[in-house]
Amino acid sequence: MPEGDTIFRTAVRLRSVLVGKRIEAASSQGRRQVDAAPLLGGEIRDVEARGKHLLFAVCDERTIHSHMGMTGSWHLYRPGERWSKPVPRAALVLEVGGIVAVCFSPKTLEILSRDGLRRHRHLWKLGPDLLATRFDEREALLRFRLHERRPIGEILLDQRVVCGIGNVYKSEALFLMRRSPFDPTGSLSDEELGQLLARTRDLMRRNLVGFKRQTRFGRDGDRVWVYGRVGKPCLECGTMIQMRRQGELGRSTYWCPACQPATDVST
């Protein structure tokens, strides 16, 4: 699934070519079909990443909301250019100032009114965006404290606490902080949580340029420390990396049992 850095890069790219231009044609099809007619003639005023969500602000107070899920993506083409994905997967096609913007296979696609955006059942619940220019760490810490018994590896993925973090950065940041993903959130102090968020934010920001995600910098070989390396030796101590499913959705968590021992919370 695209993580916050991927959606942020997508927003930057779309914003650079679409903002300030009017939608000359709009069409929608497939399982995620929406009524695209009200978008015609509207000027795109902004393209914003909000965690793993992408929002197009259109001048007539409508917002295009998309969530890419596991396989969705936005592509840009010139008119007449061959698409890299099959036409039936195109859920929304926008023709804007000599550019064709295509949303392929989104998990969510909606056209929202101002009130619909404000009252959206998912968007209004999102926690602070880790990649926002002014990340609200205080608000994030307050939200962490509402879930002190749940494992930190689960809470980092809860978009209602802080939004934008996915499996890769969760596993990598916890390894770099030498914290077990199964430690209760309450076992981390505010200072430790702040350090964990700062480390995760730094990893994500360093990946805003380029397309191959990396958390090991200035080193040869593997691009990541633990993610996807189950059964391989830890790059620090040689212990075999393990993987376990966490949370209601069974998201994969990778860790080194030696470098990330569980915290004793019995006392």
Domain of residue 29, CATH code: 3.20.190.10
CB 256 within 8 A of CB 239: yes
CA dihedral 94, 96, 101, 102 (to 10 degrees): 20
Handedness of CA 266, 157, 225, 208 (dihedral sign): negative
Q: How far apart are CA 58 and CA 43, in angstroms?
A: 5
The domain of 244 spans 147-255
CB 21 within 8 A of CB 96: yes
pLDDT of 1: 59
Are residue 183 and residue 95 in the same domain, yes or no?
no
3-state secondary structure 158-184: CCCCCECCCHHHHHHHHHHCCCCCCCE
Are residue 103 and residue 161 in the same domain, yes or no?
no
Are residue 151 and residue 50 in the same domain, yes or no?
no
pLDDT of 3: 77
CB 3 within 8 A of CB 166: yes
Are residue 19 and residue 117 in the same domain, yes or no?
yes
Are residue 90 and residue 155 in the same domain, yes or no?
no
Let me know if residue 43 belongs to a domain.
yes
Let me know if residue 51 belongs to a domain.
yes
Interacting residues of 260 by C-beta distance below 8 A, sequence separation 6+:
174, 175, 178, 179, 180, 181
Give the residue among 48, 44, 47 at the shortest CA–CA distance from 24: 44
267 pLDDT band, cuts 50/70/90, is very low
Q: How far apart are CA 132 and CA 28, in angstroms?
A: 30
Direct distance between the N- and C-terminal alpha carbons of the chain, in angstroms, rounded to an integer: 38
Are residue 104 and residue 187 in the same domain, yes or no?
no
Work out the average pLDDT over 92-101: 96
26 pLDDT band, cuts 50/70/90, is very high
Are residue 102 and residue 179 in the same domain, yes or no?
no
Let me know if residue 182 belongs to a domain.
yes
Q: How many domains does the chain have?
A: 2
Are residue 121 and residue 151 in the same domain, yes or no?
no
CB 178 within 8 A of CB 259: yes
Of 59-68, 74-83, 168-177, 206-215, the range with the lowest mean pLDDT is: 206-215
Are residue 84 and residue 194 in the same domain, yes or no?
no
CB 185 within 8 A of CB 151: yes
Helix (H, G, I), strand (E, B) or coil at 206: helix
Let me know if residue 100 belongs to a domain.
yes
Q: How far apart are CA 204 and CA 192, in angstroms?
A: 18
pLDDT of residue 9 exceeding 70: yes
pLDDT of residue 222 exceeding 90: no
Which comes out higher in pLDDT, residue 5 or 95?
95
Name the amino acid, one letter, at 257.
Answer: P
208 pLDDT band, cuts 50/70/90, is confident
Let me know if residue 132 belongs to a domain.
no
Domain of residue 161, CATH code: 1.10.8.50
3-state helix, strand, coil in the chain (%, to 5): 30, 25, 50
Let me know if residue 113 belongs to a domain.
yes
Let me know if residue 130 belongs to a domain.
no
Are residue 196 and residue 241 in the same domain, yes or no?
yes
249 pLDDT band, cuts 50/70/90, is confident
Would you call 32 exposed, middle or buried from its count of C-beta atoms within 10 A (0-12, 13-18, 19+)? middle
Token digits of residue 127:
């926690």
Catalytic residue numbers?
A: 2-3, 52
Let me know if residue 101 belongs to a domain.
yes
pLDDT of residue 111 exceeding 90: yes
